[in-house]
Structure 1
Amino acid sequence: MRVVCPHCLAVNNVPAKESYKKANCGKCKGSLLDSKPASLRATTFDEAVVNSDIPVIVDFWAPWCGPCKMMAPTFEKVAEKFPLKMFFAKVNTETEQLLGARFGIRSIPTLIIFKGGKEVHRVSGALDERSLMSLASQFSS
């Protein structure tokens, strides 16, 4: 399966398994099991979303948004529980206004889940850990 490196955003081919002890990026050698959310920009967004065989959950946020700031640690914590099952990413709508417009982001935070490069689910508003875990579990590989 193709997965995107959370460190350098390179596309890697990884054998599909139930669990992994080790999986490193072929380009930067960083661990693919490090599921810290990646920051996407307009120049990297399509490549990361389209080239991922695992679902991608994108948090559209802004630095001035209180609920976004409150949900950020939860988003990172939940991301740790889905290595090579779901790719977690963030888009700062303040610096990436074209992406916000492209996806019709009207309120933040907004989470969009992509599968096969296509949007399959969207939810607006901050989620608590239990709700975010449930959402990610519903769509993860």
Structure 2
Amino acid sequence: MRRVPLLPVLLLAATACAAPTPPEVTFYADGEAVAVAPLDDCDIDAENCRRDPAAEGRLRVRPGLPVQISVPGEVADTAWGVNFRYRDAAGVEQEPGRSAVFTVSAPKHAYTLTLPNPGDRLIGVEVQQLSRRIQTSTTGAFDFVARRVWVLTVEG
């Protein structure tokens, strides 16, 4: 009879039962990068959610510079998009902007966020992985509900 050491078997069993780590999104700007876990992490129906209040990235981005966003395959192979807030050169906050929605039919692993004018200053960015749940907005439009949201706050 062959004996198997108990400790490696217990460690293997413990790691097999551990919940998978949620995917991280990387934001890169002005020579710095930050990898961020999702603030909100829900199942495909946008239910059974977990919130991690500490999951927020911070980067310094000078006016007019782009922010490059990189997502893992687990996100790129689904529907996702980018929402952002910014101020113009005079410091007036503008209407929030959004990218196109990227889908499984044309997976995209990276997106470069460039603001409309060179003097514009970015305030914050959200990457949203969409669920299969749809809701009606106050304007009567239909929107997909985000299942995961990654947040970047822009400093100075």
Higher helix share: 1
TM-score, length-normalised on structure 1?
0.29
Higher strand share: 2
- Structure of greater Rg: 2
